[in-house]
Amino acid sequence: GANSWNSDCFSAPAESFLQDFDFESNLALFNKKAVFQEIENDFPDL
């Protein structure tokens, strides 16, 4: 529910952010084109 969602999001200590967030390697985990293709194939009426 909302509580586990919130604790997931807000529980990390500030010290864990000393290094920059790695945008590039996270973007690589999401193939937008392929995911959109999948959505369109499953719901062709969209």
Partner 1 sequence: FMKKHLKNPYEINLMEELTLKGVTQYYAFVQEKQKVHCLNTLFSKLQINQSIIFCNSTQRVELLAKKITELGYSCFYIHAKMNQQHRNRVFHDFRQGLCRNLVCSDLFTRGIDIQAVNVVINFDFPKHSETYLHRIGRSGRYGHLGVAINLITYDDRFSLHKIEQELCTEIKPIPKTIDPCLYVAEAQQVD
- Residues engaged in binding partner 1 (CB under 8 A): 2, 5-6, 8-12, 14, 16-17, 20-21, 23-24, 26-27, 29-30, 32, 35-36, 39-40, 46
Task: Count CA within 13 A, CB hemisphere, residue 24.
Answer: 1
Rounded CA separation 12/35 (Å): 29
Structure tokens at 9: 């999001």
CB of 6 to partner 1, least distance (A): 6
Please state the closest distance from residue 8 (CB atom) to partner 1, in A: 5
Q: Which residue has the tokens 């369109």?
A: 40
Residue closer to partner 1, measured from CB, 32 or 44: 32
